[in-house]
Structure 1
C-alpha cells in the first residue's frame, strides 16, 4: 500500500474501531478506578480480538488501532498498547514454553503484561541501567529498582532488563521474563498528573534462571530497542488520535459558538488557527504511517523514521490540544470536559519511550552515520 493513503477496507476498519471504542469500551473505562489496571476493559479488548491482533499484525495495523481507539477512548488505547509493549519481547524473543504459557492469556486479557526498563537513575539513558543480575548457581539474583513502569505493581508478569555484565554498557544487559509472584519482587503505585496504572518495583535478590531469559544473555538491549522501534511510531499514532479528537471538537465548537455578531469560525484569527491545527495533525499522521510502513517493509532507516514520527506527532498533539483548549475557553478547563482530559493525557507521550530530546539525538546520530557511510 501507499504510505500516504489507506485502502477502503482499512478506513472502514478504523471507523469500526472508533465506534467500538465509543459504545463498548468507553463505558467500561468510565467504570474503572483511576490509576488502576482495568481488567474488565482488558477482557473486552480480548473478546473483540484486538489484543490477539497485537501478535499477528504489523506496525501499521498497530498504529491504526492506537489512533482509532485514542479518538474515542484513550483508556482503551493505553490498555491495549501496554499489553503489546510488555508482551512483544515474549512474542518476538521468548521460548516456546514462555510463549505458550503467557501469550494466550495476554491475548484474552486475563494476564497483564508490563515492560520494565526505566529506573530511578536510568530513564532515557537506558544503556546506563543498574538493576544487577548477580550470578547464583545456574541462574541469577536480581537486585535493585525499576521506576515509572506502566501496569506496575498490578501486572502478572514483567519483561525486566537487568545488567548481567558490569561495565559493558548496552552490551551487558539481559532481558528476563519475571512473573509477579517471584519471591523478593515488590511494588508500589505512583500518582501521576493523568491517572494511569504506573508504579515502582523493588528487586530483593529475585531469582531468575536461564529459562526466564528472553533472547540471549547480554543481548537484552537489542530486545528493548527492537520493541521500542516497533512501538515508537504507534506512540505517535496515539498522539495523532488525541489531536484529531481535539480538532474535531474544535471544529464543532467554533461552528456553533456565537460571538462578536457571528460565529467563531467567521473570525479569520480563529479559522486560520483551526486550519493550522488540521495541517499539523495530517502531517504528523502521514509521518507516522510512513514510519510504520517502513518498519513493515524491513527498511534500514527504521530507527530514524520511528524517532521522527514519535517526535513530530507528540509535539503536534501538544500544540493542537493546547490550541483547542484556548479556542474553547474556560469550558475546556472544567473537570470532565473532553479537552480537560486530553490536556492531561497529551503531556506524557513527549517523555515516555524516549523523550523528545532523545528522539532528536537519535535522528542526528542516524543522519551523521548515513553521511559517513555514503562518504566511503
Structure 2
C-alpha cells in the first residue's frame, strides 16, 4: 500500500476556510421541521456557499475534495442543519454534473448552486441499503424513453426535492452491472412519497415510482453503468462526510474545553482534575487523527491516481472520522453531565446528529469491507 505525503493546508485553503466561516456565522437560521428548508437552501446559495460544492465552478473537473471538506467541516461547527442541507445539494446534483448531458447540466446545476432547486440522491431501498447491487426499482424501455416502477426508502430531501438522481435496475439478475442512473424531476407524473419521522429533524422520506416516464436523455452516463456513477460520487463525498464528523466533534470539544475551565467542583475548576484533563487530551488527539485522515484522503482524490486506492482512502476517512466523532461527542456529553442531556443544549443536539453519520453513504461495516477487499482481495472477502 503506497503512502501519502503529510497533508498541509495552503494559504489559499486557510483563507477559503476563513471566508466560509465569516460568510456563514450568524446568517444560517434553520427551522428544524424535518422537511426541506427552502429558505435555508436559498440562503446558502445567496451567500455563495453552494458554489463551493463544485470547487467554485460548474465543470466536473472543478470538484475539489479538499475544498469540499473545508466547506463541510467549517459549516458543521456553525449549524449541522445548514451543513446537511448543503451536502445534500452536492450529493444529489454531482452525478448530473459528472455524467449528465449538457442540457441537463444547464437546466439543473445553476439552480442547485443558487439554491432555487433542491437535489436528492436516491439509491437506497428497503432491501438494498448496504447491498446497493440488490436494487429492485425497475426501469424498462418504453419507446425512446424509460418507465420507472418501484420504491426508494431513506432518501434525503424526499419527497420534496426538485430533482432526484435515481438508480434503477435496467438488466435483471445482473447485480451492480445492471443498474442505470437517471435524472428524475420531482414533479414527474406518477412520482409520490412521504416524509419519515427521524431521530434528528432531517428531511428524509420514501419515494414511490408508479410508472414514472423519463426521456432517453435522462440517463446519467451509460445504461447499465450507473453503479460507477454512484461510486464516483461516493468516493468524492465520503471523505467530506468525515469532514462533517470532524466539524461536529470540534464544536463539541470547543464547548467542553470552555465548560471544564468554568465549571467549579470542590472549589476548583473541573479542568484541574487530572482525569478530566487527560480525557480532554485523548479526545483532542483522536480528533486530530481523524482530521488528518480526512484531508489526506481528500488530497489523494484531488491528485488523481488509482481509483481503488482512492476508494480505500475514502472508506478509511469516513470510517475512522465518523466512529471517532461518535466517541468524542459522547465523551464531551459525559464531561458536561446532565446539562448536556437537556433538550436544546448544543451537546444534546450534536449527540443526536452524530449517530447517523456511521450509517449513511455506506455504514461503517461497509467501509471496512471496502478496505479489506482492497487490501486482501475480493476472493478472500464477502
TM-score tier after normalising by the smaller chain length: over 0.9
Q: Which residue of 2 aligns with 1:142?
A: 148
For structure 2, the 5+ residue unaligned runs are 58-62
Shift of 1:195: 0.7
- Give distance in 2, aligned partners of 1:148 and 1:86: 14
Q: Please say if residues 4 and 286 of structure 1, whose CA atoms lie closer than 8 Å, have aligned partners that are also in contact.
A: yes
Q: Deviations over 1:188-235 (max 9, x none)?
A: 000100110110000111112211100010000000011000000000
Q: Which residue of 1 aligns with 2:39?
A: 40
Q: Which residue of 2 aligns with 1:228?
A: 234
Shift of 1:135: 2.3
Q: Which residue of 2 aligns with 1:339?
A: 347
- Give distance in 1, aligned partners of 2:194 and 2:363: 24
Q: Please say if residues 85 and 115 of structure 1, whose CA atoms lie closer than 8 Å, have aligned partners that are also in contact.
A: yes
Q: Please say if residues 45 and 115 of structure 2, whose CA atoms lie closer than 8 Å, have aligned partners that are also in contact.
A: yes
Q: Which residue of 2 aligns with 1:366?
A: 374
Distance 1:33 1:287, change over 3 A: closer
Determine if the alignment matches structure 1 residue 264 to structure 2 residue 270.
Answer: yes
- Give distance in 2, aligned partners of 1:16 and 1:273: 32
Shift of 1:2: 6.5
Q: Which residue of 2 aligns with 1:161?
A: 167
SS at match of 2:362: coil
Shift of 1:237: 0.2
- Give distance in 1, aligned partners of 2:12 and 2:266: 44
Q: Please say if residues 311 and 370 of structure 2, whose CA atoms lie closer than 8 Å, have aligned partners that are also in contact.
A: yes
Specify which of 21, 29, 40 is matched with residue 24 of structure 2.
Answer: 21
SS at match of 1:24: coil
Distance 1:184 1:371, change over 3 A: closer
Higher mean C-alpha displacement, 352-361 vs 8-17: 8-17
- Give distance in 1, aligned partners of 2:39 and 2:256: 32
- Following TM superposition, the consecutive aligned residue runs of length 4 or more in structure 1 with deviations greater than 4 angstroms are none
Q: Any residues of structure 2 matched to 1:32-111 within 5 Å, and which?
A: 32-55=31-54, 56=57, 57-111=63-117
- Give distance in 2, aligned partners of 1:290 and 1:323: 26
Higher mean C-alpha displacement, 32-41 vs 215-224: 32-41
Number of matched residues?
368
Q: Please say if residues 146 and 202 of structure 1, whose CA atoms lie closer than 8 Å, have aligned partners that are also in contact.
A: yes
Shift of 1:51: 1.2
Distance 1:364 1:137, change over 3 A: same
- Give distance in 2, aligned partners of 1:10 and 1:277: 25
Determine if the alignment matches structure 1 residue 126 to structure 2 residue 132.
Answer: yes
Q: Deviations over 1:47-91 (max 9, x none)?
A: 122212222340000000000000111111111100000000000
- Give distance in 1, aligned partners of 2:274 and 2:305: 43
Q: Please report the TM-score for the alignment, with normalisation by the length of structure 2.
A: 0.94
Q: Deviations over 1:95-147 (max 9, x none)?
A: 00000111110010000000000001100111111101122222221111000
Q: Any residues of structure 2 matched to 1:281-296 within 5 Å, and which?
A: 281-296=287-302
- Give distance in 2, aligned partners of 1:8 and 1:330: 41
